């Protein structure tokens, strides 16, 4: 069961191929008013300037997962090395339930409850969930960076105290809501037309990191599609550290058997 949840939850973090869950603005009240003269090129440049790109990243994580059949809450530690790997350890009541490692081409997972392991290529995620899996986009999601499938031909419009940036392709529709005060991302939503999947991601509770950069400590995901069903995931980050090399351990014990 734990492996099934992990592999259903982790593709959500991949953030590939999913549509606008909500077309409403998530602008904060009391901020600056968005200006009509601001265009998409300017907004894309502002998002580029606020982009986080640490060589190393570590955070504690509270995960609240819910789908049509179950709800699960757990704590986790997440570590990553830029353009190299993402490591995740999921715990509950002080015991490790699962450990996962994502590299540039593979996904490895340990089920501590059933003494099982799984090794799959990133193509497995595409085959099983209709997701073009990509390590770099997974890392961008964890960091709270805007994720673009095709930034060309995007349109911008003012919506109160936020800007709405949108792109409409034949296969993918993308929407972003950007705060008019500091140009940080409030929300992004995707519609994978071909795979009939939708995702909305809210980014809240921005806090200061080193280098005068800001990080979203609270994320709320909503998914709906033929691969994921209706799924919600809440992610609460804490104890964030950047640019400090971390110990990455992932070993498969001899007594573990490969999960079917």
Residue 13 has pLDDT above 80, yes or no: no
Q: Please, what is the Cα angle at 230 between 91 and 159, to 5 degrees?
A: 105
- State the chain's mean pLDDT as an integer: 83
pTM for this predicted structure = 0.83
- 204 burial via Cβ count (<10 Å: 0-12, 13-18, 19+): middle
Percentages (nearest 5) of helix, strand, coil residues in the chain: 15, 45, 40
Segment 133-186, tens digit of pLDDT: 688 888 998 999 998 877 778 999 998 999 999 998 878 899 999 999 989 999
Q: Give the whole-angstrom CA distance, residue 126 versus residue 121.
A: 9
Q: Give the whole-angstrom CA distance, residue 4 versus residue 14.
A: 16
Here the tokens at position 244 are: 């400090």
Q: Give the whole-angstrom CA distance, residue 130 versus residue 159.
A: 32
Element (H, E) at 126: helix 122-129
- Biggest alpha carbon–alpha carbon distance for the chain: 63
Question: Given this model, what pLDDT does residue 76 score?
Answer: 93
- The percentage of the chain sitting over the pLDDT mark of 70, rounded to a whole number, equals 85
Q: Where do the domains of the chain lie, and which CATH numbers do they carry?
A: 2-239 (2.50.20.10)
Here the tokens at position 71 are: 């709800």
């Amino acid at each position: 069961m734990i492996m099934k949840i992990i592999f259903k939850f982790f593709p959500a973090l991949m953030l590939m191929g999913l549509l606008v869950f909500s077309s409403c603005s998530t602008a904060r009240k009391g901020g600056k008013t968005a200006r009509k003269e601001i265009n998409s090129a300017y907004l894309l440049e502002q998002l580029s300037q606020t982009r986080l790109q640490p060589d190393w990243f570590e955070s504690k994580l509270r995960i609240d997962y819910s789908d049509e059949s179950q709800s699960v809450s757990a704590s986790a530690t997440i570590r990553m090395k830029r353009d190299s790997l993402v490591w995740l350890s999921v715990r509950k009541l002080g015991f490790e339930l699962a450990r996962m490692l994502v590299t540039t081409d593979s996904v490895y997972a340990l089920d501590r409850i059933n003494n099982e392991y799984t090794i799959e290529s990133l193509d497995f995620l595409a085959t099983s969930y209709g997701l073009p899996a990509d390590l770099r986009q997974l890392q961008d999601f964890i960091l709270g960076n805007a994720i673009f499938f095709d930034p060309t031909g995007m349109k911008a419009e003012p919506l109160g105290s936020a800007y709405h940036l949108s792109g409409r392709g034949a296969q993918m529709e993308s929407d972003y809501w950007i705060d008019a005060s500091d140009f940080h991302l409030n929300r992004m939503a995707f519609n994978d037309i071909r795979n009939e999947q939708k995702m909305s991601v809210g980014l809240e509770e921005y806090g200061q990191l080193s280098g005068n950069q800001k990080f979203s400590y609270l994320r709320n995901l909503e998914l709906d599609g033929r691969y994921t069903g209706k799924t919600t995931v809440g992610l609460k980050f804490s104890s964030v550290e950047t640019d400090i090399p971390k110990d990455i351990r992932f070993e498969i014990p001899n007594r573990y058997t490969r999960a079917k």
